[in-house]
Amino acid sequence: MYKNRNINVFSHVLVWLVLFSMPYVLSYGQSQEIDRIIAHFWIPIAFYAIIFYTNYFILIDRFLFPKKMVFFVIINLVMIALFITIKEQIENAFFSDLMRRPSQNDVNSPPFKMFVYVQMISYMAPLLFSIAIKTTQRWINTETERKEAANFKLKSELQHLHYQLQPHFFFNSLNNIYALVDISPEQAKTSIHSLSKLMRYMLYDTNEEVVPLSKEIDFMKKYIELMKLRVSDKTKVTYNFISEETGIKIAPLLFISLIENAFKHGVSASNESEIIIDMTVQNKTVLFSIENDNLPKKTEDKSGSGIGLPNIEKRLQLLYPNQHNFKTMVKDNRFVAQLEIETN
């Protein structure tokens, strides 16, 4: 808004510098007595101001933008003709000794028809400037409103996805803890305590648009340790995260769905399985990969809602358009997901 106001002020200053210079340019080479300055400078400037601001504040909004072109043209032609006539009358009444009509004998004076055309053009200038400024302002306002609407829509979609992810995450976590209650009550208690810490992070810290990458890594580590409590010794979980502080900030909860899916679809109670998680940083690009056994979900398994991957794909499109690369594949019966995000 402040920037638009500065542009508006600059446009008005530029217009009036041009309009103030026009009478001087048109009377170049003529004597500069005070009477001639008044006749050729201050009188036209007063009429320029009336034409400019009448169009700027009234006529353009009332007739030009609503496409009432005939009325707009007629009113301006009448106004210009009236001002030219008034100017001639004032000059004849008060400056008749200075206002000598150009003649064929005066080689230094332009033809009379050209004189009239120049007068018309000079009075058209403030009209055209007012249209240009008003149209530019309208375009800027339209663009601003469009961007605000797009921003609002973006925030609404992200908020919806964020709220969608939280119940999904808690639902899966509670399912895992429920499975531990009969097997290992102590582990179930520990899991509930760990889940409360994760919930605190999700409910409060993730309300920000971006969070430090180190916080997100700490959250993922806690979640992985929580999930490891419910898997058997036949499942090997290996993860590698950067330990040093990078100063990078990133949108929260972008990776957690991939980790959820790995524990959900890559773990078997009877067969050996392995989950490998890796995150590195190159310059300002975060590289994340996760690999797990591809074990299709059983039909009777109703845990979760299956919204994890669609959620992350949609959030990436909204948050990092043209700044991310996300792909998944099944290779040698193992599911692989790779995500690259270019941060600012």
Domains in the chain (CATH in brackets) are 2-146 (no CATH), 184-342 (3.30.565.10)
Residue 329's DSSP bridge partners are 336
Q: Which of 219, 210, 218 is CA-nearest to residue 319?
A: 210
pLDDT digits (tens, 9 = 90+) for 215-249: 999 999 988 988 887 788 889 999 999 988 889 99
Distance of CA 97 to the CA centre of its chain: 62
When computed from its CA atoms, the radius of gyration of the chain, rounded to whole angstroms, is: 37
Residue 103 pLDDT level (bands cut at 50, 70, 90)? very low
Q: Which region, left, alpha or beta, applies to residue 153 given φ > 0 means left and ψ of -120 to 50 means alpha? A: alpha
What is the average per-residue pLDDT within 127-136? 90
pLDDT digits (tens, 9 = 90+) for 2-54: 556 667 777 777 777 777 776 566 555 554 455 555 566 777 888 888 999 89
Write down how long the chain is.
344
Residue 301 pLDDT level (bands cut at 50, 70, 90)? low
pLDDT digits (tens, 9 = 90+) for 168-194: 677 777 777 777 787 778 878 888 888
pLDDT on residue 117? 65
Which positions ≥6 away from 301 have C-beta within 8 Å?
none
What is the average per-residue pLDDT within 315-327? 90
pLDDT on residue 101? 46
pLDDT on residue 71? 93
User: Which is higher by pLDDT, 77 or 198?
Assistant: 77
Residue 300 pLDDT level (bands cut at 50, 70, 90)? low
Rounded Cα distance between 56 and 135, Å, is 10
Dihedral angle at the C-alpha atoms of 38, 39, 44, 46, nearest 10 degrees?
40
pLDDT on residue 125? 85
Looking at this protein, which amino acid is placed at residue 106? D
User: Is the model's pLDDT at 317 over the cut of 80?
Assistant: yes
User: Is the model's pLDDT at 297 over the cut of 80?
Assistant: no
Check the CA dihedral 28-29-34-35 and report its sign. Answer: negative
CB atoms within 10 A of CB 287: 15
Residue 260 pLDDT level (bands cut at 50, 70, 90)? confident
In 3-state terms the chain splits into helix, strand, coil percentages (rounded to 5) of: 60, 15, 25
pLDDT on residue 319? 87
Sheet holding 324-331, edge to edge: 235-240, 273-282, 285-293, 334-342, 324-331
CB 339 within 8 A of CB 323: no
pLDDT on residue 214? 93
Query: pTM surpassing 0.85?
Result: no
pLDDT on residue 296? 66
User: Is the model's pLDDT at 110 over the cut of 70?
Assistant: no
pLDDT on residue 102? 47
pLDDT on residue 275? 95
Poorest-pLDDT segment among 104-118, 153-167, 289-303, 324-338: 104-118
pLDDT on residue 113? 56
What is the average per-residue pLDDT within 151-176? 68
Looking at this protein, which amino acid is placed at residue 158? L
User: Which is higher by pLDDT, 102 or 22?
Assistant: 22
